Structure 1
Amino acid sequence: MSQSFMKGALIITLASLISKLLGSLFRIPLQNIAGDEVFGIFSIVYPVYMAVLILSVAGIPLAVSKLISEARINGGENHIRDIHRTGSILACSFGISAFLVILLIAAPFASLLGGEFAEISLIVVSASLLIAPYMAVYRGYFQGFQEMGPTAFSQVLEQFVRVFFILLFAYILVQQGYSASVVAGGVMTGSIFGALASFIYLRRKFVTSPLRPEADRKYSFRDFKKWTKTILYLSLPICVGALAMALVNFIDSVTVPGQLGAGGAEDLDIAAQYGYYGRGLTLVQIVVVFAQALILPLIPLLSASLKEKDDEKTSLITEQALKFMHVAAWPAAIGLFVLTVPLNFVLFGDTQANEVLAVVHLSAAATSFAVLTTGILQGMNKQILSAGIVLGASLVKIVLNIILIRYFGLIGVAWSTFIVYILLSVWNLWVMKRTISFRLFGNREGRAVAAAVLMGVSLYIPLLWTAPETWGRSMALMFTVLLIAGGGILYGVFLLLLKAVSKEELKNIPVIGPKISRLYR
């Protein structure tokens, strides 16, 4: 179990890391090419698209994954075929419906997002809904067989194609002198091309795969009705639970422009200020990749272990996932927080809104745990309760945005995000603890946090006597890269010195793990 879990988690983590690196880091050249106004429009509109995509269909692939995992135990080829086909029909139907709704309300909804500048981008990016839902069901199908390779490759392919066209159209349209709203709309076409490339690959993989079901009877409307009820029962709460991060970003897109506008900001000034906030989210999303990557193999694993009534296995999977997140999230959040000023200068060319970025960076750990624990609850068949928790936290987010932005300005958004993700994490962990027996502490988590803090202090010391933001960007980049590399090495050393990771856990790390484990006495 442990090796299978680690292998699946490693494959999807590496692919998701590459995908998220592309999906986050491309924002840096986008901001440098097109400016803060275009970057701000992108940061406002894209969370809306992601929220609609998740609400429309994201629960369906996860439900397909869960049901196929169970059907492999006591179902059969017919059930597997029926689940996949029903999921595909539902995903396409919801995707087309969502596209038509956005098309009809694009103008008034753009006004809600701060102004007419968002309308073109909304219409263009919503066209991805015609392709992405159907494509995502194929990912869920392979995940149900614990085959993470197709999902991993398709994610990377989608992001490569998407990023290429985003930057290509950004450069061409800026050179042609188009307005910020037109450039932002052109940039959004990258999502269409990315989804199409991923769909073509997954469809071809499915057709030639030995995992393709060989049913011995025809698929009927009766089968569609039967599995539609089952899939919707599972997917509706799952999709709300999967909204954990996307829903918070969606709420920001809807509430922040209005509050900034009430404070006297003009349309494109609102977009620019939102772009500053989006800078912080760019790097946080890379940290969250570890949580999102773990969710994919976790849900079918937890579902299978619960169905087998193997409490020990369920507890072990949960503890492994939480330990992995402690080791990965804390150093990333603390490192981003300490290096906020040089990173802002190196990546975006100035030091605007450093305080806002620092708070957003610090929230990376809470965000990661919120996303991971939400996924664990889904795997524990607590989809409805998980959805209720996410909705409750979202209401808190709306209230905090209105109050904190009114009194503190843009940094109020960052603080509300930080508070809400802490609330989500604590709430989820409380429910998990009441559901199954597992160690919340006692697996050397405190040592991992201590190692991260020591690493952060070590990174901060050189910044007491230097000011990279006053240098040229090239010199500052070299200095910052050296600090990041040094921080990573120091964190590894502190982990070993404090024995935050056991010898057995080290051995599971591919290639270097067995060698490092020999350092333990």
Structure 2
Amino acid sequence: MANKLVSGTLILTVSLFVVKAIGSINWIILSRILGGEGIGIYQMAFPIYLLALEVSSAGIPIAISIITAEKAAKEDYAGAQRIFHVSLTMLCITALILSILVFFGSRWLIEYHIIRESRAYYSLIALAPAIFFTTIIAGYRGYLQGWQKMTPTAVSQIVEQLVRVGVMLGFAAVLLPYGLEYAAGGASLGAGAGGAAALLVLLFYYYKLKHRLPKNGPVFPQEKISHILKRLVILALPISLASIMLPVVSNLDLLIVPRRLEIAGYATAQATELFGYLNGMSVPLINLATILTASMAMNLVPAISHYHTLGDSESVYDKTASSMRVALLATIPFSVMLYVLAKPVVTFIYNAPAATDATQAIALAIVFLGLHQVSTGILQGLKMPKIPVMNMGIACVIKVFCNWFLVAIPTLGIIGASYATVADIGVAAALNLFFIYKHTGYAMQFKDVLKNIVCAAAMGIVMQGIFNYTEHIGLFLSLLLTTMLGTAVYIGLMAACGGVTRRDAAKIPGIGRFF
């Protein structure tokens, strides 16, 4: 199980990097094909699509993962299958209904000006099948993750993205001569095609797993369908509320930050520009830096559920401690890297050196976001999904207050909004850690945290010197060399002080045998 946790996390991390890289290249090419107006038409349909997905699946996939891991721990193989069949039936029904509603309701959405751009009609109807496929594949991924099978999710994500991008660019280019609305609609077909391809991949892995499960395991009483549905809803509802919190917080930022920037003395255009630097440039960098911890959180849910079901509190504690240790190892150096290299990074990626201040101020959020992701996964695995939601609600209130007071200070401005984001995620993470201590007895060791901070600080000083010395060779090469040498310095220092051991290296899939 320990090896599954490490390998599964790395598999998901690599797949997410690949998916994001493909997506970035696709966005550049699609923007060139459709232009700004075409991209605007394409984007008009997506809020409806995302809302339909949220309603159709909500937190069901994670709930399936938790309950499946519980059944697997008890060796109740027939029970795991029954859970999945009931869940999949429910997902199929809701997905089909919503797909039909979107397809036939698209004209109504435009006629009543809910979507003000009439040319988005073809994008809407093209996205309707994607709602069905995306909901179903989420159910299959949740089930396979419950068995600690992360490769199916990783492979299906990459296949989905490749097919999606191919269909999207192909149809956009072919239909462009007929008009932007048709080209945008053609691009939207990519989501459904990618979902169908991913479903085929997951079906292969599902039947492969099904044939390998023992046929003559222990016999357990069959659960009633009503009981299964009740458990799914109880677990899924808080998880879906947590996902809804993210757009709620973003909308609150949209309402508060630009207005408070104007109070601080900025013109409306300046306030809009600064808000774009924070939400459109700095925050995506934070999310990119926490791909590893996001993958680990996904992997932790079934792993913790497995041990919690068996009553193995020692293994729950061990997995909690090791995951927190890895989270610190992965996020503290990234925070320092982004702080030190904020200006060259935002210049290279966005050509926007003016975003440096907001990016430096928000860099600490990488550590807190990583800890929040991992701690949320642990609490969900312990079947306590309500706790992270409540903690996010408390943190959201604190963020609103920080935004209101800090952003209006002329000497802070958008930096105050960055601090508010750090406070928001930091409070949510701290509250999660408190409840983890309460239910598992785990608390962070000050000595381990200090080692990470000291080694990362030393790495930051070295990186600043390397970048200043190599800046003349070109921005990209200088960043690449600085990052590689800085990472080597950090790992070397951590190994020297015992923060990273040979045993840690031995757990890395593929190269671990060399240690």
Band the TM-score falls in, shorter-chain normalisation: 0.7 to 0.9
Partner SS, residue 353 of structure 1: helix
Match of 1:62 in 2: 62
Write the letter of the residue equivalent to 2:479: T
Shift of 1:150: 0.8
Q: Name which of structure 1's ranges 338-347 and 131-140 shifts more when overlaid on structure 2.
A: 338-347
TM alignment of 1:140-219, pairs within 5 A: 140-164=142-166, 190-211=190-211
Partners of 2:198 and 2:284 lie apart in 1 by 23
Shift of 1:40: 9.8
Match of 2:296 among 277, 290, 294: 294
Q: Judge conservation of contact 2:62–2:142 (CA < 8 Å) in 1.
A: yes
Partner SS, residue 210 of structure 1: helix
Match of 1:488 in 2: 487
Structure with larger Rg: 2
The answer as to 2:451 corresponding to 1:450 is: no
Match of 1:510 in 2: 509
Match of 2:219 in 1: none
Match of 2:499 in 1: 500
Q: Cα distance 1:2–1:213, how it changes in 2: closer, same or farther (>3 A)?
A: closer
Residue ranges of structure 2 left out of the alignment (5+ in a row):
217-221
Write the letter of the residue equivalent to 1:452: A
Partner SS, residue 290 of structure 2: helix
Match of 2:246 among 242, 245, 248: 248
Match of 2:225 in 1: 224
Q: Cα distance 1:17–1:429, how it changes in 2: closer, same or farther (>3 A)?
A: same
Partners of 1:399 and 1:184 lie apart in 2 by 41
Q: Judge conservation of contact 2:289–2:334 (CA < 8 Å) in 1.
A: yes
Partners of 1:452 and 1:109 lie apart in 2 by 53
Q: Judge conservation of contact 1:91–1:133 (CA < 8 Å) in 2.
A: yes
Shift of 1:448: 2.2
Match of 1:309 among 311, 336, 340: 311
Partner SS, residue 131 of structure 1: helix
Match of 1:427 in 2: 431
Partners of 1:409 and 1:42 lie apart in 2 by 33
Shift of 1:400: 4.3
Q: Judge conservation of contact 2:327–2:371 (CA < 8 Å) in 1.
A: yes
Partner SS, residue 210 of structure 2: coil
Q: Judge conservation of contact 1:51–1:250 (CA < 8 Å) in 2.
A: no
TM alignment of 1:368-387, pairs within 5 A: 368-387=370-389
Among all aligned residue pairs of Structure 1 and Structure 2, give the percentage whose two residues are the same amino acid. 23
Q: Cα distance 1:78–1:514, how it changes in 2: closer, same or farther (>3 A)?
A: closer
Match of 2:340 in 1: 338
Which structure has the higher relative contact order (CA within 8 Å, separation 6+)?
1
Partners of 1:443 and 1:88 lie apart in 2 by 47
Q: Judge conservation of contact 2:110–2:118 (CA < 8 Å) in 1.
A: no
Shift of 1:250: 4.9
Match of 2:80 in 1: 80
Give per-residue Cα distances to partners, 1:478-510, cap 9 Å, x unaligned. 222222222222222222222211332232223
Q: Cα distance 1:431–1:232, how it changes in 2: closer, same or farther (>3 A)?
A: same
Write the letter of the residue equivalent to 1:339: L
Partners of 1:493 and 1:305 lie apart in 2 by 34
Write the letter of the residue equivalent to 1:71: K
Q: Name which of structure 1's ranges 315-324 and 393-402 shifts more when overlaid on structure 2.
A: 393-402
Partners of 1:345 and 1:412 lie apart in 2 by 22
Give per-residue Cα distances to partners, 1:426-483, cap 9 Å, x unaligned. 0100111111122411673321232222111211224556767xx9xxx321222222
Shift of 1:386: 2.2
Match of 1:461 among 455, 462, 465: 465
Write the letter of the residue equivalent to 1:354: T
Partner SS, residue 225 of structure 1: helix
Q: Judge conservation of contact 2:470–2:478 (CA < 8 Å) in 1.
A: no
Partners of 1:173 and 1:403 lie apart in 2 by 50
Partner SS, residue 498 of structure 2: coil
Shift of 1:423: 0.8
Q: Cα distance 1:136–1:324, how it changes in 2: closer, same or farther (>3 A)?
A: same
Q: Cα distance 1:86–1:509, how it changes in 2: closer, same or farther (>3 A)?
A: same
Shift of 1:146: 1.8
Residue ranges of structure 1 left out of the alignment (5+ in a row):
none
Partners of 1:421 and 1:296 lie apart in 2 by 18
Q: Cα distance 1:485–1:222, how it changes in 2: closer, same or farther (>3 A)?
A: closer
Q: Cα distance 1:417–1:187, how it changes in 2: closer, same or farther (>3 A)?
A: farther
Give per-residue Cα distances to partners, 1:198-225, cap 9 Å, x unaligned. 1232134324543588999xxxx99432
Q: Cα distance 1:478–1:65, how it changes in 2: closer, same or farther (>3 A)?
A: same
Q: Cα distance 1:52–1:178, how it changes in 2: closer, same or farther (>3 A)?
A: closer
Q: Cα distance 1:256–1:400, how it changes in 2: closer, same or farther (>3 A)?
A: farther
Partners of 2:119 and 2:333 lie apart in 1 by 36
Partners of 1:429 and 1:54 lie apart in 2 by 28
Give per-residue Cα distances to partners, 1:345-397, cap 9 Å, x unaligned. 22223424222233344422211111111111111121122222223323444
Q: TM-score w.r.t. structure 2 length?
A: 0.80
Q: Name which of structure 1's ranges 188-197 and 131-140 shifts more when overlaid on structure 2.
A: 188-197
Shift of 1:283: 2.7
Write the letter of the residue equivalent to 2:76: G
Give per-residue Cα distances to partners, 1:103-125, cap 9 Å, x unaligned. 677899979xxx97998799579
Q: Cα distance 1:192–1:392, how it changes in 2: closer, same or farther (>3 A)?
A: farther
Give per-residue Cα distances to partners, 1:123-142, cap 9 Å, x unaligned. 57964433211111101111
Partners of 1:509 and 1:288 lie apart in 2 by 19
Q: Cα distance 1:28–1:414, how it changes in 2: closer, same or farther (>3 A)?
A: farther
Match of 2:351 in 1: 349
Write the letter of the residue equivalent to 1:345: T
Partners of 1:193 and 1:448 lie apart in 2 by 45
Partners of 2:488 and 2:230 lie apart in 1 by 51
Partners of 1:124 and 1:411 lie apart in 2 by 42
Shift of 1:229: 1.0
Partners of 1:41 and 1:273 lie apart in 2 by 23
Partners of 2:23 and 2:253 lie apart in 1 by 24
TM alignment of 1:2-41, pairs within 5 A: 2-23=2-23
Partners of 1:338 and 1:37 lie apart in 2 by 37
Partners of 2:73 and 2:397 lie apart in 1 by 40
Q: Name which of structure 1's ranges 280-289 and 305-314 shifts more when overlaid on structure 2.
A: 280-289
Partner SS, residue 150 of structure 1: helix
Q: Judge conservation of contact 1:21–1:286 (CA < 8 Å) in 2.
A: no
